[in-house]
């Protein structure tokens, strides 16, 4: 029975972080929502819709899966949690599962690791005669409501609230401001001084 439980946890860890699986095993799907201080990373591929119209479906899926695998590794290796894939977008959280005073540093380290990982992946794609990918990443810090959200048939652990929305809107600014990684002032204030940042013009988001 213990071995079966371990196998079940391993299988479900593909869909939710271990900490949430343990809570579900203990409390069922009645995991309480809670307000948390979190750093949010939202990443989206630039021009991927146009690319999807030029590449065969099986090739496109292979490109996307390779991209997601490398970006997820960069996030999880920096103590982040990938919440969901939205089309070709990635929503990830830092500090959502347990208090983390270094969550903003971790989020920026993850973004830089994603940049490095994408550069290496693009070399692979070019060797195969495939187009390179470009990504825009938005980072924001604030409070949100964390919990299991969904219907009776399908649920996921996620965070909802203004903080997540702002991270998504900041990611949209990467195209207009010609920067692949943008952090908000709220996140910058919590960063260690060793990070070198370039100031950008004040910008309104939706």
Report angle CA 76, 151, 26 to the nearest 5 degrees: 60
Phi/psi for 97 (5° steps) reads -95, -25
DSSP 8-state symbol, 33? P
Q: What is the pTM of this model?
A: 0.85
Q: Do 174 and 130 contact (CB within 8 A), yes or no?
A: no
| pLDDT by residue, tens only, the chain of 206 residues | 777 766 655 555 555 556 666 665 565 555 567 899 999 999 999 988 888 888 899 999 999 999 999 999 999 999 999 988 999 999 999 998 888 999 999 999 999 999 999 999 999 999 999 999 999 999 999 999 987 777 777 777 788 999 999 999 999 999 999 999 999 999 999 999 999 999 999 988 87
Task: Name 97's Cβ contacts closer than 8 Å, sequence gap at least 6.
Answer: 17, 19, 20, 81
């Amino acid at each position: 029975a213990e071995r079966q439980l371990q196998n079940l946890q391993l299988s479900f860890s593909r869909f939710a972080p271990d900490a949430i699986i343990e809570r579900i095993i203990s409390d069922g799907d009645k995991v309480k929502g809670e307000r948390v201080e979190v750093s949010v990373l939202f990443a989206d591929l630039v021009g991927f819709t146009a690319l999807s119209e030029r590449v065969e479906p099986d090739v496109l899926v292979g490109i996307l899966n390779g991209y997601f695998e490398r970006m997820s590794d960069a996030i999880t290796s920096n103590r982040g949690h990938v919440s969901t894939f939205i089309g070709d977008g990635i929503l990830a959280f830092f500090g959502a599962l347990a208090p983390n005073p270094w969550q903003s540093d971790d989020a920026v380290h993850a973004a830089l690791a994603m940049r490095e990982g994408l550069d290496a992946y693009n070399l692979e794609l070019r060797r195969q005669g495939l187009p390179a990918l470009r990504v825009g990443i938005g980072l924001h810090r604030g409070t949100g409501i964390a919990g299991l959200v969904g219907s009776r048939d399908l649920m996921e652990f996620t965070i909802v609230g203004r903080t997540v929305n702002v991270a998504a809107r900041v990611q949209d600014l990467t195209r207009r401001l010609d920067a692949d990684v943008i952090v908000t002032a709220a996140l910058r204030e919590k960063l260690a001084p060793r990070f070198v940042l370039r100031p950008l013009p004040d910008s309104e988001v939706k």
